[in-house]
Structure 1
């Protein structure tokens, strides 16, 4: 069977050396070559950017391949398809013919198909004896078969590049997260170091990162961030190694929690008022915490004693201990309590008692200079079984009862109805608890 050997396009379309090179490559197909047309199409689609093919051009190529009846492309069979523009438009989901012609030119330019134009530019085929095609004019799919291995290699390279880009982005994300959080830990924990300098370096590095970056750019940024990571990590590691694990409590508090150089541990102790010691249960009268009630505090009593926490609760309500703990976690950063201080309190006391302690500190925050240092102090006392949350809550309730009693007394002197003075009270305690508070000296 003798096929058409037309090499130049019809009409005003110019002939280029690229077109001729594509035809020469297609003419050198091995006689035994064969390839699945849809597998080659998937490879072409994967490597479309490297080939310079457009999305719509691939939609047209998909339609052209559908006009080739066999599943495989072989050198023995005719690889010229000759659909009209109207037929192509229908199989390309109704693409306008002006758009169709433009993207057909893209397929020819990228060397994916070859034009085999008839003398008048029409696409058709002549059949010989027996119905076999003797001569055809249209689009030659030979380049797809001739370059099947090239497309496969290109698709594999594109997949590797995509994987490398994804890994580089993951590496960048981890580097940025580690550096930022280690700098925050150093600042929050009061570790000596040039943290502003580290933060400036980080911002300068990240500022050079474009919105859409190529893999080499991302890897260069990652290398600089990893150098910064090493410097920050070494600063934290050196501080940890320099700490004496046998140091006394005041030494540990001075290094870990006093991030403000203008406030000494002596200043903090001077701000520790008598009421605070009484509320924390560390005074002489409540030194034996084993004599305190062993049962858990009722949630309602704790909320009545610490109403300030309600301002940070979701919807302004606390219905369960889970809500209470969540509200305490919300209050922690506003109080200047570091994550490590909170975590240590949770590990030693449990989440509920740690939350009660934070709520009580929040309630008396105006009388506590360093809330984070005070929480750590109470945590250490709880570790030694010298601290209980009961005295804190009882002292806060006593203060509230005293304030209400004074308000009622003032109303009586002013001639107000005593019932009106008690109507706003939210603290309800049993007679047995009131008797116990009097016995312990918690209620006057």
Structure 2
């Protein structure tokens, strides 16, 4: 028999010499799923970092079956791999992992961690068994998918609350409520608190004297909305008319290669901005002004907007902002998304027409 030192390897010799990478689930995918569902198991980030350190003693990405799933690094080795975590703290987090059922502990008679081999096989191994984590694969994947969907819903709700907060500030200035909501948005999203904030802000917008007429206009029938769009299209067909309002609705700009985008088409396809700025849009100047006010509400900084206008033009940038607002639930970071579009535009490959026309298609990919 031979003794494999946990100080030198921290793993059974069998697993090092004959790894079977497809035997079990991917250890890093499992760790990611567990991180997303940490609240379900009452795990802290430091406890997860200890688990990550244990996983590094497996030589492959996949957790093998049997005794090969047992790792046996000493506390000193683990502490060194965790940038000098005190052993008392390390023991506390290891205990938490065992109590949570994520790993199991196989203690030797003298409480040392090692493996004994007979020939080429592992006869017995003492240490931390990662098999329970592998067995949680299916349940963890399901829980993680639910947790990510819930998180995305809460983030989208928080974005809507922040947009409403900005609209309320525009209507009546800052107040204790808007200050409270600013603090609320900086914390971890909580559905109940966000829903209450959303309702409170919506009531303020709906009941404000200057917004009530537009709110009534927004609640009119689909037929009225359809007539409104048809009227805009009529204006667009006669840009040489003498009516200044009609000419304003007919404004166009050259998107690319002589292809024109009309104000009417933008208003028809982009509707979400009306929830915050319901006044009638009469010109591209109005659209640009609205986009400038929407940008910080959705998390786009002024320098990024300035660069976008410089690269794409003010009208195209305004259309991009309206399209981003339409797809807020599909775009995790609007600021990063706009920076990406700026780079594409600088390379000469950006096309705004497919982006605008994808808004109502149900396609989450705004650009081609």
TM-score band w.r.t. shorter chain: 0.3 to 0.5
Compute the TM-score of the two structures, normalised by the length of structure 2.
0.47
Compute the TM-score of the two structures, normalised by the length of structure 1.
0.39
